[in-house]
Structure 1
Amino acid sequence: MKEPRKYSIEGIVASVFFIALIGVVLIQVFGRTPLFRGPVWTEETARWLWVWMAFIGIAEVERQDSQLKMAFLAELLPETGRRILYTLIDLVYLGIVGHLIWIAYKTVLRTWNNVTVTLPTTDAVLYASGLVAAILILHRILRRILGRRDVSVKREPSL
């Protein structure tokens, strides 16, 4: 499988959320000193930025195929067996992520009218982070499965 690009939309967005999180936390820290009184919205905003950053970061890890693996048994298999095993695992993962997308979608709809405490939006924006991340992860799993198939097709001798 070819090496993933160095930068992606997932990584860039997660990094922007991280930088914004640092800024909001600094406002919170300095707002607790005699310098100035910190705004109330920083507590909730920091939490939301953290959640969005973490979920989009998970999608970036999936893009790089860098999640934790215990591959010592898979490494004993020949390459074809290993490709089949990893494809089966990805297909199960695909089903789980598809179910998570459904749950996240229902959660966004259920919280659509829940007003947040300090932000001018609804709780659905927070829960949309899981939906967006799951869709990005689904996309990356599909690309990985199709990439494995393309490799196997290219290696087959032509008749």
Structure 2
Amino acid sequence: MNQPRKYSIEGIVASAVFVILIGVVLIQVFGRTPLFRGPVWTEEAARWLWVWMAFIGIAEVERQDGQLKMAFLAELLPEAARRILYTLIDLAYLGIMCHLAWIGYNTVLRTWNNTTVTLPTSDALLYGSGFVAAILIIHRIIRRLIGRRDVTAKREPSL
């Protein structure tokens, strides 16, 4: 398969959220010293930023196809059988991620009117992270499946 591009929207967003998270945590740390009194919202904001960073980061790992794999048995298979096995795994993964996206969507709807403790927003914003990540992962699985089919079509000689 083709090497993924070096930078993607998932990686850029996860990195930007990480930088913001560092800033919020620094405010939190210095707010516990005699220098100044830290705002209350930093604890909740740090948790939210961490969740968003983690979920978008998972989507970036999926883009790079960098999940942990135990492929030693699959590598023993002939290439055609290995391709079929990985396609079946991706199809099962796609089904699971579609179900998780549905759960995430329903959770966002269910928490839309809940207000957070210290931030002026809805809890749905936090739970939206799982939904957004699931959609990004679904997109990457579909692209990988389509790319695998393209590679198969190019490699097999036509009669």
Range class of TM-score, shorter chain:
over 0.9
Q: SS of 1:116's equivalent?
A: coil
Given residue 79 of structure 1, which amino acid in structure 2 is its aligned partner? E
Q: Which residue of 2 aligns with 1:62?
A: 62
Q: Tell me the CA shift for residue 86 of structure 1.
A: 0.3
Equivalent positions of 1:111-150 (< 5 A) are 111-150=111-150
Tell me, in whole angstroms, the C-alpha distance in 1 between the residues paired with 2:86 and 2:102.
24
Given residue 32 of structure 2, which amino acid in structure 1 is its aligned partner? R
Q: Which residue of 2 aligns with 1:21?
A: 21
Q: Tell me the CA shift for residue 155 of structure 1.
A: 1.3
RMSD (Å) for aligned C-alpha atoms: 0.5
Equivalent positions of 1:101-120 (< 5 A) are 101-120=101-120
Q: How many residues align?
A: 159
Q: TM-score, normalization: structure 1?
A: 0.99
Deviations along 1:26-79, whole A, 9 cap, x unmatched? 000000001000001100000000000000000000000000000000000111
Q: SS of 1:17's equivalent?
A: helix
Q: Which residue of 1 aligns with 2:157?
A: 157
Given residue 87 of structure 1, which amino acid in structure 2 is its aligned partner? T
Q: Tell me the CA shift for residue 5 of structure 1.
A: 0.5
Q: Which residue of 2 aligns with 1:31?
A: 31
Q: Which residue of 2 aligns with 1:47?
A: 47
- 1:92 has 2:119 as partner: no
Tell me, in whole angstroms, the C-alpha distance in 1 between the residues paired with 2:135 and 2:23.
28
Tell me, in whole angstroms, the C-alpha distance in 2 between the residues paired with 1:68 and 1:5.
20
Q: Tell me the CA shift for residue 158 of structure 1.
A: 2.4
Q: TM-score, normalization: structure 2?
A: 0.99
Tell me, in whole angstroms, the C-alpha distance in 2 between the residues paired with 1:6 and 1:80.
29
- Unaligned segments of structure 1, at least 5 residues: none
Given residue 40 of structure 1, which amino acid in structure 2 is its aligned partner? V
Tell me, in whole angstroms, the C-alpha distance in 1 between the residues paired with 2:58 and 2:158.
39
Tell me, in whole angstroms, the C-alpha distance in 2 between the residues paired with 1:63 and 1:28.
33
Percent of paired sites with the same residue: 83
Deviations along 1:129-158, whole A, 9 cap, x unmatched? 000000000000000010000000111212
Given residue 126 of structure 1, which amino acid in structure 2 is its aligned partner? L
Task: Give the 4+ runs in structure 1 shifted more than 2 A.
Answer: none
Tell me, in whole angstroms, the C-alpha distance in 2 between the residues paired with 1:146 and 1:81.
17
